[in-house]
Structure 1
């Protein structure tokens, strides 16, 4: 049976309200700020990267773990708003509330939700909910919103690496949208330089080699985003730096299309093979 322990801080992030819970060989820490998974371990092995210099005060997003990007991904699309709004949406700097937890013989479940009344193109309150389920099959996240029509979302996972230059993600489509070099849409995946690619219609199961073998299952998505800032940009970044840019690879489960007006049901499972 699982234990749910409320923490006043995690790692160097002091006074940060978090919940640690466990099941079998897995342990997870989830922050109430942003609804963000900060740590996922199997048998003591950390699978996620968390910046050792990131902060969370003054509405700063936490760098690392599994940030929730919602209701837009990256800069807000012009179809949604012309207002000046934060990159990657509102969810990752909101305070979330615990609404339920459950422990039984085959899983441990934590449910958080956040409410928003400041969506630029929507009047009225919007409720976003995320379920965090630990089982023998790893950590399963289910992000759900039925109150909003046009919405994007991504589970922006930072996987810990020995060296990103040796990391792989497969299988991926042969072509992609390259946000760094728009003219390049079919080159091989090779890290070291800045990498920011949107692979559309990706498989339900990806394998991330870090060199640990991590299985990434996806549902409700229409794309996977592969990102790393590269040596030059990563070394200069305040919350990354020269010693950390090569220690993670982002493989993100995303729903980016605005034409789908159905409820958001974005799901992702992380398991150590």
Structure 2
């Protein structure tokens, strides 16, 4: 599996052509993007961590029966079309088309002509964007998420701000609710928040705040498997759940993208590292 590793003025960046996936970003030697020590780097296997590109559906899709989970884009071999490393940082870009994915598992559930592009830009911040262009003769719908795994010191001491007042669907409890105040994870967390604003992850253990900004993202997904579910995953260390939280830019469910012929849509997320504040 082809990997690309580069140094920046503040740390290191690593990405894989499979899935056009950012798999490492360190600042001052400390990971910002989390990847499991048990992640499998094998052709056709999803990489546990980094920023997986979930497309053209999220989870099992709106119908609840689509596979592979999170779509076929995250395990497809994308074509690298740009790789620039200079004083400004690192810029990588990949493309994927319907011709590239013909015959892959899951594509029969998305029989449309498309061209997709993922760009990763890392300077003093990391931005990942997914652009999809409809090259078909009819409109189509899709879901998308940038499944960003963030490295934290201890999830049990982390606070997330920016979601106060947002309605969410709790996929663990299978119920809707409204967020009141800061979000503190106390158990398995899998929530789709109707929120397009930034989210700040306040981490007193590592003494920093990670700010996640989004564009064209009506939803924010927050996920941590907690102890029992993590232990059941072959590519997830039993204690690694304490070190991560996913804060994802998403357009899913009722917020899925409707794309007319010739139109394109860009979903993006930016992660910034700052000093601890508001704790």
User: Is TM (by shorter chain) over 0.5?
Assistant: yes
The C-alpha deviation readout for 1:193-245, integer Å capped at 9, x for no partner, is 11111111231x22112342112111011100001111221223222232212
Q: How many residues align?
A: 253
Q: TM-score, normalised by structure 2?
A: 0.83
Distance 1:247 1:215 in 2: 17
Which residue among 126, 146, 156 is the counterpart of 1:139?
Answer: 126
CA deviation map 1:98-145 (0-9, x unaligned): 101234553432111223335335445432211111223x11111101
Is 2:182 aligned against 1:194?
Answer: no
CA distance in 2, matches of 1:109, 1:187: 36
Q: Stretches of 4+ moved more than 6 A in 1?
A: none
Name stretches of at least 5 consecutive residues in structure 1 with no aligned partner. Answer: 1-15
Alignment of 1:245 onto 2:241? yes
Q: Does 1:233 align with 2:253?
A: no
Match of 2:170 in 1: 178
The 3 A distance-change label for structure 1 pair 40 and 126 is: same
Deviation per residue, 1:51-91 (Å, 9 max, x gap): 1112132522110111110110110222xx96x52100011
Normalising by structure 1, report the TM-score.
0.84
Alignment of 1:202-213 (within 5 A): 202-203=196-197, 205-211=198-204, 212-213=208-209
Q: Which runs of 5+ in 2 are unaligned?
A: 275-279
* Superposed counterparts of 1:18-167, under 5 Å: 18-57=3-42, 59-78=44-63, 85-115=67-97, 116-117=101-102, 119-123=107-111, 125-136=113-124, 138-147=125-134, 149-167=140-158
Distance in 1 of aligned mates of 2:258 and 2:4: 33
1:140-179 deviation digits (Å, cap 9, x = unpaired): 1111011273111111011112111111221104231111
Tell me how far 1:187 sits from its aligned partner. Answer: 5.7
Verify: 1:260 aligned to 2:244, yes or no: no
Is the partner of 2:14 in helix, strand or coil?
Answer: strand
Write the distance in 1 (CA, Å) between the matches of 2:80 and 2:226. 36
Please report how far the alpha carbon of residue 184 of structure 1 lies from its aligned counterpart in structure 2 after TM superposition.
5.4
